[in-house]
Structure 1
Amino acid sequence: MTPSDTDVTLDAALDPLVVALDIGSTATRGGVHDASGRRVHGLQHKVGHAFTVAPDGTSVIDPEQVTAEVGEVLDAVAGDRRLGTRIAGVAMDTFAASLIGVDAAGRALTPCLTYADSRSADAVAALREELDEHAVQQRTGTRLHTSYHVPRLRWLAATQPRVFAEAASWWSLGEFIWARLIGQPLAGTSTMAWTGLLDRRTGELDAELLSAAGVGAERFSGPRDPAQPASPQAPARWPALARAGWFPVITDGFASNIGAGALDATVLTAATATSGALRVLLEGAADPLPFGLWNYRVSKDRTLLGGAINDVGRAVSWAQSTLRLSPAIAPVLSAPPSDATPLVLPYLTGERAPGWVGGARAVFGGVSAATDADALFRGIVEGVAMTYARVADELHPAAPQIVEVAAAGRVSNDQPEWLQILADVLGQPVTHVTRRRATQRGTALLALDALAPDEPRAPRATGATYEPRAEHAGYYEERRRRFAEAYERFVAVQREDRRQPADAGPDAAASPWVMRR
C-alpha cells in the first residue's frame, strides 16, 4: 500500500532515512524524511536569514553565516538519540547561481553573490559585444546575464583585482558549506549548470566562456551526477550521520520540480517562492531552445527547460510592507479584474527570463490620485502573473506535450487565491500543490532514488485546480498586450541610458518613462 504524503512519526518511518537541507532566499531549512519521502514529525528545523541588498544591485549573504545555520539545523534534526544510524544519506539544495571566491585553504574571499546581484550589468553589455550570445546559449543553455559567472568574474576582476587574483577556486554556496563540514566541495551537475559555464550536452565546462572570464577550468569543481554520494568521515558532532552518504549539492529549481511531482515533460511546474520559475523536466537537451529561456543539464540524461523570475514572493512581501496592506488580502485577489488596476512591471531586482534585462526595475503605470494600496497590490500580482505568461509563451514550442501546470511554493500556499489570476492569465488550469517544503521534499526524493529505488513514494498532496474564467479572457488578453508594449518601451529606455557617456550629467539620460492609459 502506498503511504499518503503526511508527516509520520519516527517509530512509523520507513528505512532508510535521509536528511534533506534546503537553503532558500529567506531561510535555511532541513528535516528527516523516510523512504517514502514523508517528513518525520518533530525532526524539522528552520533558521531565517535575509540577503544584504543595496540600490547599486548588491545582493549578497555571508557564507559562514549560512554554514552555521546548516550546523544548527543538523543539530536539531540529527540529534535525536533514537535515530541510531538509520540515516543513510544527507542531501542539500541551495538557491541557484551563487558565487564565492575562496583561497587555497577554502576561506571565503568574497561574500556569497546571489542570483539577484546585478552589479555586473555593464560586463554583460560588453560580453554581448564580444560573444555570439545565440551560440553561447545553444552550447550552455544559458544567456549572458548578471545571474551567471562570466560577467560576475569580469566585474570582480575589474573592481576587486587583488581578490580576483588571490582566488584559488570559485565555489557555489553549497560547495562552500560541504567543504566546511566534510572537506569536499561536492557540486551536482545542476549546480555547475547554473554557473552558465556547463555545456548542456557534454557536461563539460565551456572553453570560450572560461577564456572570456579569465579563469581556468581547474578553479571550478567537476560536476557530479546527483545520484553519486560521497562517503567522507562524518563529523563527530553528529553521530547519527556516521553511516550516511553525502550527496552532491543540487539547485532548488531541480529539487522543486521533483517535489512538485513534475517528473516528466507533461507537467509544467510554476515555482512561487521568493523568486519563481516555470520549468519542465526533459529527457536530453531541449531542441529547439527558445532564446528567452534556459536549458540546464541536471544529470547525465536529463535537462530542465524553463525561465526564472526574480520577484514573486519578494514582490508580494515588498507590497505588504511598503503599502501597509491589511492582513486580509484575499478579497483583493478574489475580486473581478478592473480597468482601474495599475499596469505594473514587477522587476524589483532585475529581470531574468524571457528578456534578460538584469538592470530592470519596477515600473507602475496608470497610477492616479484615486489609486489606493489595494489596487497597487492587485496590479503587482497581475504583473507577476504576466511575467509567468511571457515565459510560458516561449516555452510552448519546445515542450508542446504539457498537460498540467503544478504550482508550488510559499506564495501559492499563503495566498492560493492568486492562482486564479495565474490561471486566467495563462489561459490554462493550474493545480495547487499544497505540500509545504516541496523543494526540500524533492531533494529527499532524489537521494532516495539512489538509496531506496524500489520503495513506493508517497504521492504529492494537492488542493484545488483553478480553471481559467472565460469571462475574463478579454481583459487579460488586453493587459498582456499593454504589458508587452510597456516592456518594449522600458527596454528601449534602458538601452538608451547605457549609451550615455560615463561623465554625462544627471539630465543626459532619459528620465523614467511614464505610461499613459
Structure 2
Amino acid sequence: MSTSITIDLSQAEAPFVLAFDVGSTGTRAGIYDALARPVRGHRAKVGHAFTTVANGTSTIDPDQVVAEAREVMGAVLDGFPHQIAGVCICTFASSLVGEADGRALTPCYTYADSRPAPQVNYLKSILNEDEVQQRTGTRQHTGYLPARFLWLRQTDEETFGRVERWMSLGEYVWLRLIGVTAAGVSTAAWTGMLNRREATWDAELCGLAGVDPHYLTPIAPPSQPLEPVIAPGYPQLAEAAWFPPISDGHGQSIGAGSSDPGTLILSAATSGAMRAVVEGDIELLPRGVWCNRIDENRSILGGAINDVGRAFSWLGETLLLPPQDEIDAFLERDPVPGLPIVLPWFSGERSTGWVGEARAVFHRVSAATTPLELYRATAEGVAFSYARMLRELALVVGAPREILATGRVTGDVPALLQMVADVTATPVTPITLKRSTLRGTALHALEVLVPDVEPAPAPRGATIEPDTSRYPYYHRRMERFGVIYDKVIAHAN
C-alpha cells in the first residue's frame, strides 16, 4: 500500500519545482516544494503506449509526447499561485529522435526496440568491447545508440541524411517547449556513447556510428540550467530555471532514497533495474553491469531487465488465470518443486548478458503444467534476473545491507519482493511512496536550487526478511537457470 507525503499548499515551503516524468505508460507532471513533497491538487497524467511489432519495433510519436507535456503542464499550473523556481524532466532511457528545423523527422525509438540486433553483433565483432565498457560504462546492446545509428543509416539512409540533430525524447520536448535543449549528463550516459571519465561524446563510437558529435546536442550537468528562448506561456514560469533532461534511472534512484552503495535500489515497473549511487570513478567495471555518470561527481552503477511488468501483463493476457487473491496465495506459499524454468526476456535481455535479440524461454513445460505454475515460474525468473545483477554489483560495492524496492509491480505482485529477498539473502524494504521517479526528478533540481535543505524522507513499508530455509531451493534453481541460459541464449549469441 502506498504512503503519501503529499501536503496542502498552505503547508508547502518555497521554492517550488515543476517536474515531468515521461515513462513507458504515460506522461506525468507534479509540483514539489523545497522538501521534495508533492503539493496536493497539482499533479496530472496522460496515458500512452509504445507502438510494438513482432519484428522488434518499439516506438512512440514524439510530437504526441510534446502535446501530453503541454497538457499536464497546464493542468498542474492551473490555480497555482506562486512562482516556479525550476522545471525538470526525466524520460525512459534510452530514446532517440531525429529532428530538422525544430520538428521530428523520425519516430522516437525506445530502449525496447530490438531491430538493431545485427548491428550490435557487428560492433561486437570489431570493437574491443571490454575496453569500450570501461570507457563508456556500457556494453553494446540494442537499447543503446551506436547500433541504432548504424541500423538507421543502413535502413533509411535518406532520412538519416536529412536529420540536423539527434536527441533524446526529453531533449526534443524541451526544444519544442522552450526553443533550446541539451542532454543532461545521465541522459547522455544512458545512450551508451558518453565517455564517462571526460563527460564528452565518445569519439570512437561516434566515428563507427557515422554521427559527428556536432549532430548531437551539448552535454550539460544539473548545475547548468537552460535559458528559454521561447516563453513557455505561463506567468508562474517567468523566472524558472529549466534543467537539462535526465534519465528515469537517475530520477528513480535518488527519489527512492539511495545515498550510499550499501543500499541498492530495485525498480519494478514495465521494465526493471537494480542500481547503486556511487561517488567518484570506478576503475574496473564487471562485465554484466553498467556505470552511468549523472553529474560532476556521482555515477549510478547498475543492471537492467526489459520485462518485469511487461512479463506479468503478458501472463495475465495469455493464460487462463484464477482471481488475483489465488495467484497471490500461490506465490506466497513455500517453493513448489518441479516448476518449469523461465528466462523472462520477452523483449530482449539487457543485464547481465546483453543479448538484445534474446526471447523468453519456458523450459520443461508439460501438459500437466498449470497456469499458476507458469505464473510462479515466471516470477522466479524475474527474481533470478535481479539476483544475477546483484552478484555483479557486489563485486564493486560489496554485499548490500538492504534493497529498497520501488515501482508499481511491487504493489501489483507483492510476493515478488519476498522471492527477491529469499533468492539474494538480503532484506528488501518497499518504498511506499507513489511516483518516486517523479519525486527524484524534482530532487535533482532541488539539489541545485536549495543544496542545504534536507528533503523529506521517502516513506517505507515493513522490511521483508529473507527466509533462509528457502535459499537452498532457490540456489539450485538459479544454477539450473544459468545452465539453460548458457545453452540457449549465450550459445545462440
- Give the TM-score normalised by the residue count of structure 1: 0.92
2:401–2:427 CA contact under 8 A, matched in 1:
no
Q: Confirm whether residue 299 of structure 1 aligns to residue 303 of structure 2.
A: no
Q: Deviations for 1:324-370, whole angstroms, at most 9, x for unmatched residues?
A: 43232321221211013221000000000110000000011121122
SS of 1:338's equivalent in the other structure is coil
Which residue of 1 is the match for residue 151 of structure 2?
Answer: 155
Within the candidate set 357, 363, 388, 1:390 is matched to: 388
1:266 CA drift (Å): 1.9
Which residue of 1 is the match for residue 43 of structure 2?
Answer: 44
Worse-superposed segment, 280-289 or 205-214: 280-289
Question: Counterparts of 1:481-496 in structure 2 under 5 Å?
Answer: 481-495=479-493
Which residue of 2 is the match for residue 59 of structure 1?
Answer: 58
Within the candidate set 98, 103, 106, 1:101 is matched to: 98
In structure 2, the CA distance between the partners of 1:313 and 1:493, relative to structure 1 (3 Å rule), is: same
Which residue of 2 is the match for residue 508 of structure 1?
Answer: none
SS of 1:46's equivalent in the other structure is strand
Looking at structure 1, the residues matched to 411 and 219 of structure 2 have their Cα atoms a distance apart, in angstroms, of: 34
The residue type paired with residue 110 of structure 1 is T
Worse-superposed segment, 171-180 or 456-465: 456-465
Question: Counterparts of 1:241-320 in structure 2 under 5 Å?
Answer: 241-320=237-316
- Give the TM-score normalised by the residue count of structure 2: 0.97
Looking at structure 2, the residues matched to 486 and 193 of structure 1 have their Cα atoms a distance apart, in angstroms, of: 32
SS of 2:143's equivalent in the other structure is coil
1:297 CA drift (Å): 1.1
Within the candidate set 428, 435, 457, 2:455 is matched to: 457
1:235 CA drift (Å): 3.3
Looking at structure 1, the residues matched to 316 and 436 of structure 2 have their Cα atoms a distance apart, in angstroms, of: 24
The residue type paired with residue 380 of structure 1 is T
The residue type paired with residue 52 of structure 1 is T
Worse-superposed segment, 448-457 or 384-393: 448-457
Question: Counterparts of 1:76-155 in structure 2 under 5 Å?
Answer: 76-80=75-79, 82-85=80-83, 87-103=84-100, 105-155=101-151
Question: Counterparts of 1:347-496 in structure 2 under 5 Å?
Answer: 347-400=345-398, 402-495=400-493
Which residue of 2 is the match for residue 501 of structure 1?
Answer: none
1:417 CA drift (Å): 2.2
2:181–2:226 CA contact under 8 A, matched in 1:
no
Q: Deviations for 1:377-408, whole angstroms, at most 9, x for unmatched residues?
A: 11111000000111111111111163221111
1:5 CA drift (Å): 6.1
In structure 2, the CA distance between the partners of 1:236 and 1:90, relative to structure 1 (3 Å rule), is: closer
The residue type paired with residue 100 of structure 1 is V
SS of 2:199's equivalent in the other structure is coil
1:428 CA drift (Å): 0.8
Looking at structure 2, the residues matched to 268 and 336 of structure 1 have their Cα atoms a distance apart, in angstroms, of: 26
1:317 CA drift (Å): 1.4
1:74–1:238 CA contact under 8 A, matched in 2:
no
Which residue of 1 is the match for residue 23 of structure 2?
Answer: 24
SS of 1:463's equivalent in the other structure is coil
Looking at structure 1, the residues matched to 12 and 98 of structure 2 have their Cα atoms a distance apart, in angstroms, of: 41
Worse-superposed segment, 119-128 or 285-294: 285-294
Which residue of 2 is the match for residue 504 of structure 1?
Answer: none
The residue type paired with residue 342 of structure 2 is V
The residue type paired with residue 436 of structure 1 is K
The residue type paired with residue 150 of structure 1 is P
Which residue of 2 is the match for residue 217 of structure 1?
Answer: 213
Quote the RMSD (CA, aligned, Å): 1.4
The residue type paired with residue 26 of structure 2 is A
1:423–1:467 CA contact under 8 A, matched in 2:
yes
1:450 CA drift (Å): 1.2
Identity between Structure 1 and Structure 2 (%)? 48
The residue type paired with residue 24 of structure 2 is S
Which residue of 2 is the match for residue 35 of structure 1?
Answer: 34
Looking at structure 2, the residues matched to 456 and 212 of structure 1 have their Cα atoms a distance apart, in angstroms, of: 45
1:5–1:38 CA contact under 8 A, matched in 2:
no
Looking at structure 2, the residues matched to 473 and 84 of structure 1 have their Cα atoms a distance apart, in angstroms, of: 54
Looking at structure 2, the residues matched to 332 and 233 of structure 1 have their Cα atoms a distance apart, in angstroms, of: 57
Q: Deviations for 1:42-66, whole angstroms, at most 9, x for unmatched residues?
A: 1111111111111111111100011
The residue type paired with residue 54 of structure 2 is P
SS of 1:32's equivalent in the other structure is strand
SS of 2:73's equivalent in the other structure is helix
Looking at structure 2, the residues matched to 118 and 25 of structure 1 have their Cα atoms a distance apart, in angstroms, of: 16
Looking at structure 2, the residues matched to 34 and 122 of structure 1 have their Cα atoms a distance apart, in angstroms, of: 47
SS of 1:465's equivalent in the other structure is coil
The residue type paired with residue 97 of structure 2 is I
Which residue of 1 is the match for residue 13 of structure 2?
Answer: 14
Looking at structure 2, the residues matched to 304 and 400 of structure 1 have their Cα atoms a distance apart, in angstroms, of: 15
- How many residues align structurally? 489
1:92–1:249 CA contact under 8 A, matched in 2:
yes
